[in-house]
Amino acid sequence: MTTLLATRGLSKHFAGLRAVEGVDFDLPEGEVRALIGPNGAGKTTLVSMICGRISPSEGQVIFEGRDITALPAHKRIMLGMAYTFQITSVFDGLSVGENVALAARRRLKGAKVTPAVDDALARVGLLDRKAQEAGDLSYGHQRLLEIAMGLAQSPRLLILDEPTQGLAEGEIAEFKTLIRELAGKTTILLIEHNMSVVMELADRITVLNFGEVLAEGTPDEIHANGAVQTAYLGGDHASA
């Protein structure tokens, strides 16, 4: 498989705190990869360096074989990365459709925007709310709107940070269906606290602990890994 995203020796230190330390990470094209670990394990810091939201202290980020470590976040979007926190919060005063259109215009122009908006909203089950003000949506629906904003960019790599947080059971089931539809066509990096979601959707799982990769493998391999059980799955950690 072709590697779409890689990191080499990626590290981030904050005033002596080693949030991420020496992470080597390879994500093949078309894979659904889950990133899990205890609170404070460095997951969001790692993903923020991948997206260009923060600069690493050391190491490299490589996308499609190109070193993009020094590239700003907006240029990484143009290369085909979409990140729910980068597209970030919804504009409350704009309609649901207008929010998605803003995201779509990062990569599309003219008559191509509206079909992309409608397709993205239909995929997350929000097409019937297209004209509604985004600020009137429930928190769970705002999370789905953020995902639609990512999908509208037709990303090569879609990074979702805690996408099921705040979703009702039915919405989580719809989210799982959506990811299964995208699998193979879009490479997905998923930070997720809901272990049933992780175990059902991920092709492979990377476990971070104290800023370092503790383990990597299939859901079955991770579930059976003693070190992971001790650090995370078997402990009292309620969040990934």
pLDDT in tens, the chain (240 residues): 799 999 999 999 998 889 999 999 999 999 999 999 988 899 999 999 999 999 999 999 999 999 999 999 989 988 999 988 644 578 999 999 999 999 998 888 889 999 999 999 999 999 999 999 999 998 888 988 999 999 998 899 999 988 888 888 988 998 999 999 888 889 999 999 899 999 999 999 999 999 999 999 999 999 999 988 887 765 444 333
pLDDT attached to residue 237? 42
- pTM score over 0.85: yes
Helix axes 113-123, 139-151, angle to 10 degrees: 130
Written as six digits, the tokens of 18 are 């080693």
Show me where the domains of the chain are located.
Answer: 1-80+158-240, 93-155
The CATH code of domain 1-80+158-240 reads 3.40.50.300
Phi, psi values for residue 228, rounded to 5°: -70, -40
Dist CA 80 CA 132 (whole Å) = 28
Question: Which one-letter amino acid corresponds to residue 20?
Answer: V
pLDDT attached to residue 88? 53
pLDDT attached to residue 71? 97
pLDDT attached to residue 232? 75
